[in-house]
């Protein structure tokens, strides 16, 4: 029965992905309204996160952000279904990015680490990067529990040459030899194990942050960049990827300074486009431990 359900689901997803972009956004409007107003999908989580993160907003402003967020969320889901059929030309039309600094590092044959959050359509950005950049694109991902769904998503994400590495093998595969310089992409705004996380203030709350960026960038001694996938307000479904260098020499940085810089940049961009972030995620489900180890704190330089 479960296998039959997955087969029907995949057929449905494939059929939706075959529809036009206009139809995709019509579906998104209907589904987002239903999730927000009728099914009230994770509304308690969304509003709790918004109120704590944006205390300067009044109720009307929070309601507006929440409604826009649900449309953003369903846009991302349905846009991602289109990725199984999207062409290179469509990718280059829908996403823009100044790649000059990456091109310079590629000429120097340097590997790079790129860190981002769940801002904008990260699935679209992955395919764009694999089409547009000279580096080999390597992306850390969470494997899905269902093997058929995982294989379906894997095939979409690797259509144009991206390499996917499971999170539990990230360090091992980051340091494995490759034939060409690579960009190692990590999304680090999920909720990590509190006993191993770096702890800082993020959106007015005590927040644990995955330390993989610190560990991998230091192991590779690779320059670290922050990427933000910002919506282009005048064109629905179009994005601009902003790139900022965090450090060229990670091993010269104080412990966890890379994470601290990145999390502040992400906070800035969430405040710029609050509806563009993933507010339905239970980001703050873990409490800060009473006792932190040195590796969980920002190193103080006297």
pLDDT tens sequence across 206-235:
999 999 999 999 999 999 999 999 999 889
- At 117-151, the pLDDT tens digits run 999 999 999 999 999 999 999 999 988 888 888 89
Q: Is residue 242 a part of any domain in this protein?
A: yes
What pLDDT, on the 0 to 100 scale, is given for residue 143?
Answer: 86
pLDDT given at position 144: 84
pLDDT at 2: 63
For residue 300, being part of any structural domain is answered with no
Query: What pLDDT does 200 receive?
Result: 97
Instruction: Assign 13 a pLDDT band (cuts: 50, 70, 90).
Output: confident
Whether 290 is in a domain gets the answer no
**pLDDT given for residue 301 in this prediction:** 63
For residue 119, the 8-state DSSP code is: B
- Residues paired with residue 113 on neighbouring β-strands, in sequence order: 184, 224
- The per-type count for the chain, helices as H runs and strands as E runs, is 11, 9
CA 53 → CA 82, 117, 271, 277, 286, distances in Å? 32, 16, 9, 12, 16
pLDDT value at residue 77: 94
> What SS3 class is residue 197?
coil
> What pLDDT does residue 74 have?
96
Q: Mean pLDDT over residues 8-34, rounded? A: 90
Residue 27 pLDDT class (50, 70, 90 cuts): very high
Burial code (b: 16+ CB inside 10 Å, e: under 16) for 123-161 equals bbbbbbbbbbbebbbbbbbeeeeeeeeeebbeebbbbbe
Domain that includes residue 197, residue range: 2-283
Q: At what angle do helices 147-157 and 2-17 cross, to 10 degrees?
A: 20
Given this model, what pLDDT does residue 97 score? 97
Percent of the chain clearing pLDDT 70 (strictly above): 99
Domain-embedded: residue 171: yes
Residue located via tokens 């944006």: 54
Distance CA 221, CA 115 (A): 15
CA 234-236-237 angle, 5° bins:
135
195 lies in a domain? Answer: yes
Q: Please compute the mean of the pLDDT values over residues 104-113 and round it to a whole number.
A: 97
Number of domains in the chain: 1
- Overall average pLDDT of the 189-193 stretch: 92
What pLDDT score does 285 carry? 94
Tens digit of each residue's pLDDT (9 = 90 or more) over 35-54: 999 999 999 999 999 999 99
Q: Is residue 181 part of a domain?
A: yes
- The model's pLDDT over 72-97, given as tens digits with 9 standing for 90+, comes to 999 999 999 999 999 999 999 999 99
Q: In the predicted model, is pLDDT for residue 1 greater than 60? A: no
Percent above pLDDT 90 for the chain: 86
User: Are the beta carbons of 130 and 153 closer than 8 angstroms?
Assistant: no
Domain membership flag for residue 213: yes
* Average pLDDT value for the chain: 94
Say how far apart CA 79 and CA 32 lie, in whole Å.
14
Burial class (CB in 10 A: 0-12, 13-18, 19+), 111: buried
The rounded radius of gyration (Å) of the Cα atoms in the chain is 19
Task: Look at residue 24 in the predicted model and tell me its pLDDT.
Answer: 95
State the pairing for strand pair 224-231/205-209.
unpaired
Please state at what angle helix 59-82 crosses helix 2-17, rounded to 10 degrees.
90
pLDDT (average), residues 251-266: 97
pTM of the model: 0.94
Contact 64, 48 (CB under 8 A): no
pLDDT at 302 over 60: no
Is residue 289 domain-resident? Answer: no
């Amino acid at each position: 029965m479960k296998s039959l359900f997955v087969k029907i689901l995949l057929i449905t997803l494939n059929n939706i992905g075959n529809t036009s972009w206009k139809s995709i956004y019509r579906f998104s409007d209907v589904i987002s309204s239903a999730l927000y107003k009728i099914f009230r999908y994770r509304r308690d989580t969304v509003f709790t996160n918004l109120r704590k993160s944006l205390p300067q907003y009044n109720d009307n402003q929070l309601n507006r952000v929440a409604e826009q967020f649900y449309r953003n969320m369903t846009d991302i889901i349905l846009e991602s279904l289109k990725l199984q059929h999207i062409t290179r030309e469509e990718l280059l039309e829908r996403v823009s990015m100044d790649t000059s600094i990456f091109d310079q590092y590629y000429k120097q044959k340097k590997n790079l680490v790129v860190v981002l959050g769940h801002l904008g359509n990260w699935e679209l950005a992955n395919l764009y990067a694999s089409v547009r950049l000279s580096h080999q694109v390597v992306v850390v991902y969470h494997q899905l529990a269902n093997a058929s769904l995982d294989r379906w998503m894997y095939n979409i994400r690797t259509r144009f040459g991206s390499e996917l590495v499971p999170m539990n093998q990230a360090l091992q595969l980051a340091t494995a030899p490759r034939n060409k310089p690579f960009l190692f992409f990590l999304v680090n705004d999920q909720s990590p194990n509190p006993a191993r996380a770096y702890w800082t203030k993020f959106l007015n709350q005590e927040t644990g942050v995955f330390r993989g960026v610190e560990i991998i960038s230091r192991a590779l001694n690779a320059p670290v960049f922050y990427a933000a996938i910002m919506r282009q307000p005048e064109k629905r479904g179009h994005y601009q990827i902003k790139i900022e260098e965090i450090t060229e020499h990670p091993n010269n940085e104080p412990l966890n300074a890379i994470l601290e810089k990145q999390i502040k940049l992400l906070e800035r961009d969430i405040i710029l486009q609050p509806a563009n972030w993933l507010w339905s995620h239970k980001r703050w489900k873990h409490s800060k431990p009473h006792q932190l180890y040195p590796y969980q704190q920002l190193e103080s330089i006297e």
